[in-house]
């Protein structure tokens, strides 16, 4: 028999018992569709995390001072801060791989303006901060280096703060009170939305770091330094350059441990996507258990089919069919069941993933290699679980098979 004959016979056998064939394929359908959905959601989550982290800034590199320990308890990065603006000036002067450097001091504040008040965070930074964080103003202007030198009491509001204080009115030029200090609003940032951790990136106030340091926080050191490398492929080299300059600036001996930590966007993205990838693989492997169950179901049904068709097998052997032909016939039927179930599962998985995106707004990404691997895996499931029933059918004795009475 030709392969086409085996395929035609297998299709006829499947169509002859449609309901049983569908129930046989159900495990494969559920398994494949579950894997497609899990991988699509996981890949979408990874892409969304990368986009959200990238929105934090352009080629962002953050320098944290060492953490202070009190009674063996880590007080968190910046609690033992010894970074100063002089370190920022040295980085700006000596670094060749940085396009921007900004100090950062942050503190929680109560802001009063218009007829309302709002609890938020104020960031004390330099003008480079806006370029590093990819921030732009939708209304008004930004402060300058001159404002840093004179400790100007000016600020830029995030959209959330502006809306809660002034509603739809334009706050530019208005006076607000932060703590007990009056500030003049010179601009409003364009909206950035929520970060991957759920933080509202528009719920903030930005002002010259000198003003925040001397009038609000009264903390002599910087909580961190934000830098931006000149390009994405220079991130590692830029980190090495920062480390070398700061070690020399802080007079840290080569044999001593650094009193600061450097983190880049690449590190953050790598950690976040690694966690998501592991979780996706875990969920996909759980979904894959149904493929095993589906394969066992196919093997059981094929064994039942061998028993039901014992006389048919005996007749084929009696009229000249070889054992090899019987083996191939049942293998083709098992593979056809699995491939059909795999195709239905792939289609169902895509439909479910699209429905999840439409209903929840989650990002889903379909990867071609996942679809191809699902199809190939269905093929091998058919061969693996169909081989034993096929071998059992091909090993029947023609005489005993002809005498078989169901």
* pLDDT above 90 for 276: no
Containing 326, the helix (H) or strand (E) segment is helix 323-360
Residue 76 — pLDDT band, cuts 50, 70, 90?
A: very low
**Phi and psi angles of residue 236, each rounded to the nearest 5 degrees, phi first:** -65, -45
Q: Six-digit token pair at 79?
A: 């609690």
Rounded-to-integer distance, Cα 142 and Cα 214, Å:
20
The mean predicted confidence, pLDDT, of the chain is: 81
Digit-coded pLDDT (tens) for 108-144: 999 999 889 999 999 999 999 998 888 899 999 999 9
What digits encode the pLDDT tens for the residues 154-179?
999 999 999 999 998 999 999 999 98
Q: For 95-181, where are the alpha helices, taking DSSP H only?
A: 128-132, 145-149, 159-166
Q: Are 241 and 97 in contact (CB under 8 A)?
A: yes
Domain boundaries, given as residue ranges, for the chain? 3-52+271-403, 67-258
Other beta carbons within 10 angstroms of residue 118's beta carbon come to 20
Distance CA 219, CA 78 (A): 11
195 three-class SS = coil
Residue 342 token pair: 């795999």
d(CA 20, CA 163): 62
- Residue 320: exposure state from Cβ atoms within 10 A (0-12, 13-18, ≥19): exposed
Name the pLDDT band for 273 (thresholds 50, 70, 90). low
Cβ atoms < 10 Å from Cβ of 330 = 27
């Amino acid at each position: 028999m030709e392969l086409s004959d085996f395929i035609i016979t297998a299709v006829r056998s499947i169509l002859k018992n449609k309901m049983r064939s569908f129930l046989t394929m159900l495990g494969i359908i559920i398994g494949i569709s579950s894997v497609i959905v899990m991988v699509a959601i996981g890949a979408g989550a990874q892409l969304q995390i990368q986009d959200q982290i990238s929105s934090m800034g352009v080629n962002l590199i953050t320098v944290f001072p060492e953490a202070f320990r009190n009674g063996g308890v880590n007080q968190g990065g910046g609690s033992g801060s010894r970074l100063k603006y002089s370190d920022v000036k040295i980085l700006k002067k000596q670094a060749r791989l940085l396009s921007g450097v900004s100090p950062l001091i942050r503190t929680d504040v109560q802001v009063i303006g218009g007829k309302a008040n709002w609890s938020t965070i104020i960031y004390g930074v330099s003008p480079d901060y806006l370029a590093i964080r990819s921030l732009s103003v939708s209304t008004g202007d930004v402060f300058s280096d001159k404002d840093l030198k004179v400790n100007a009491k000016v600020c830029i509001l995030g959209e959330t703060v502006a809306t809660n204080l002034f509603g739809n009115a334009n706050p530019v030029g208005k006076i607000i009170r932060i703590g007990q200090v009056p500030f003049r609003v010179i601009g409003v940032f364009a909206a950035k939305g929520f970060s991957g951790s759920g933080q509202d990136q528009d719920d903030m106030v930005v002002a010259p770091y000198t003003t925040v340091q001397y009038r609000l926080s009264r903390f002599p050191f910087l909580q961190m330094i934000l830098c931006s490398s000149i390009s994405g492929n220079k991130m590692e080299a830029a980190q090495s350059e920062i480390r070398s300059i700061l070690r020399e600036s802080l007079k840290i001996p080569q044999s001593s441990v650094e009193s600061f930590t450097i983190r880049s966007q690449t590190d953050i993205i790598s950690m976040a996507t690694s966690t998501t990838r592991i979780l996706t693989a875990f969920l996909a492997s759980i979904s894959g258990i149904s493929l095993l169950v589906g394969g066992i179901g196919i093997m059981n049904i094929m064994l039942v089919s061998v028993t039901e068709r014992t006389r048919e097998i005996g007749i084929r052997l009696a009229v000249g069919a070889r054992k090899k032909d019987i083996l191939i016939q049942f293998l083709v039927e098992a593979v056809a069941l699995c491939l059909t179930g795999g195709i239905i599962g792939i289609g169902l998985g895509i439909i479910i993933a699209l429905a999840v995106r439409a209903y929840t707004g989650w990002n889903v990404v379909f990867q071609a290699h996942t679809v191809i691997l699902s199809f190939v895996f269905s093929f091998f499931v058919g061969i693996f679980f169909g081989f034993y029933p096929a071998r059992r059918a091909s090993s029947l004795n023609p005489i005993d098979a002809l005498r078989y009475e169901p």
